[in-house]
């Protein structure tokens, strides 16, 4: 009889965050746990005549000073955010790109829309001034994989590199893919997560037509309210969240402090609709059960869930129902999107990093703006204030347009 193989636990040794809640992991965590209203939620002039004219943006970030004029011009903003987050994560891990074996370093970064704002700008340029005014850099700056390639060039990473595009689950799928690469032994280190920046009039107009975004123009900072009875849609945000993950023996050999472990990953497709999730939650349930099986843990072992929790009516209800069905009523659940905005393809990377911090600090951030919990949502949602708790296992769930579901299991 074949012995059961031990689960593979990738060591998380570094975190990098650039969000509307703060620049840097420390600043973001402080805002999220203190429920400090981020400065980055405000009206956008480009969206003035739309039902949703506001979004979360990263403030207090001088990309020119950090990257230099020449380097900055070679990247769209989502790639700039990715490079800045990657630098923080690598420094946090105590790694020196000047001395590592770059051929053993992988980069996997998710993004839903890539450089969409630059597409918008170039379309306007061509419409107003003709085709000869279109930038030759349009393709290399806007493809989804350009964030990964920019990080590779900045860090000298020469191992497997890829961009992941599974809509709003992209960042989570990127971390899961990195976990698989490390388990397969094709790299020793992986920089993984998500990056997004979509101040795009075209995209927000479409989201308004879809009725997916909040229209609380009178109070943008209170518009995103996951699991609240009065929720009316998500609020778009920008940002980047990247993790440095290592094979456990590699981290041990260099005596690196391990912040947490990525122990299990699962993914699935609803095969149901282009936008709406499977109303029975079968897809996200398969992904979650697959992640638990991969990690060899039971639902009762999970103490905390950082939920996708977008503040849309259907998504929050479906996800909460599945969490209760699979994990029971005991895990402490939060959605941090009311503090960061819904960063689309970056959301999973940002929120996985926050889950690492929750495990490390033994503290579950509150779900901001949750005033009246939806009575149809049967889970223990942390609200009003961060809640100290003792737990060794946590879950991150993500759902994306097109039915792309993903889940991660993290342990201390």
Exactly one of 52, 113, 152, 168 is catalytic; name it. 168
Is 393 one of the catalytic residues?
no
H-helix or E-strand containing 188? none
The tokens for 331 are 């895990």
Exactly one of 113, 179, 261, 342 is catalytic; name it. 342
- Give CA–CA dist 349/38, Å, rounded: 19
Residue 221 per-residue DSSP state: G
Exactly one of 179, 250, 261, 308 is catalytic; name it. 308
* Helix locations, 272-371, DSSP H: 282-295, 313-327, 337-340, 347-361
Q: Is residue 102 exposed (0-12), middle (13-18) or buried (19+ Cβ within 10 Å)?
A: middle
Is 404 one of the catalytic residues?
no
- Give CA–CA dist 91/106, Å, rounded: 16
> What angle is formed at CA 355 by the lines to CA 350 and CA 360, rounded to 5 degrees?
125
The tokens for 390 are 């003792």
Is 179 one of the catalytic residues?
no
- Describe the crossing of helices 347-361 and 25-34 by its angle, rounded to 10 degrees: 80
The tokens for 220 are 């943008």
Taking the mean position of all CA atoms in its chain, how far away is CA 30? 18
Nearest partner of 331 among 384, 243, 409, 230, judged by Cα: 409
List the catalytic residues.
168, 308, 342
């Amino acid at each position: 009889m074949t012995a059961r193989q031990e689960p593979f636990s990738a060591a998380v040794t570094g975190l990098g965050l650039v969000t509307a809640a703060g620049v840097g992991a420390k600043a973001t965590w402080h805002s999220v746990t203190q429920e400090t209203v981020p400065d980055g939620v405000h009206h956008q002039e480009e969206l003035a005549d739309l039902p949703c004219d506001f979004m979360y943006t990263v403030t207090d970030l001088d990309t020119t000073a950090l990257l230099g004029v020449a380097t900055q011009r070679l990247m769209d903003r989502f790639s700039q955010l990715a490079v800045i987050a990657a630098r923080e994560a690598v420094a946090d891990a105590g790694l020196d790109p000047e001395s590592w074996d770059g051929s053993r370093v992988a980069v996997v970064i998710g993004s839903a829309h890539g450089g969409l704002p630059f597409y918008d700008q170039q379309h306007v340029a061509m419409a107003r001034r003709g085709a000869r005014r279109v930038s030759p850099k349009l393709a290399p700056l806007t493809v989804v994989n350009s964030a990964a390639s920019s990080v590779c060039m900045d860090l000298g990473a020469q191992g497997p590199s890829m961009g992941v595009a599974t809509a709003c689950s992209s960042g989570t799928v990127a971390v899961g893919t990195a976990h698989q690469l490390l388990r397969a032994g094709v790299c020793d280190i992986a920089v993984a997560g998500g990056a997004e920046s979509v101040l795009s009039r075209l995209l927000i107009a479409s989201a308004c037509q879809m009725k997916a975004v909040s229209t609380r123009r009178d109070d943008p900072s209170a518009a995103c309210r996951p699991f609240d009875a009065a929720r009316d849609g998500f609020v778009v945000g920008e940002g980047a969240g990247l993790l440095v993950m290592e094979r456990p023996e590699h981290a041990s050999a260099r005596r690196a402090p391990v912040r947490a472990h990525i122990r299990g990953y699962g993914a699935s497709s609803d095969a149901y609709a282009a936008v709406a999730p499977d109303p029975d939650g079968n897809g996200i349930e398969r992904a979650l059960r697959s992640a638990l099986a991969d990690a060899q843990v039971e639902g009762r072992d999970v103490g905390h869930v950082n939920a996708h929790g977008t503040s849309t009516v259907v998504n929050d209800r479906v996800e909460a129902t599945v969490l209760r069905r699979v994990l029971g009523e005991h895990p402490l659940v939060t959605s941090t999107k009311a503090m960061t905005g819904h960063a689309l393809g970056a959301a999973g990377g940002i929120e996985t990093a926050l889950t690492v911090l929750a495990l490390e600090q033994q503290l579950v951030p509150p779900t901001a703006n949750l005033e009246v919990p939806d009575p149809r949502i049967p889970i223990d949602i942390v609200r009003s204030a961060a809640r100290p708790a003792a737990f060794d296992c946590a879950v991150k769930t993500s759902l994306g347009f097109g039915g792309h579901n993903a889940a991660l299991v993290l342990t201390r």
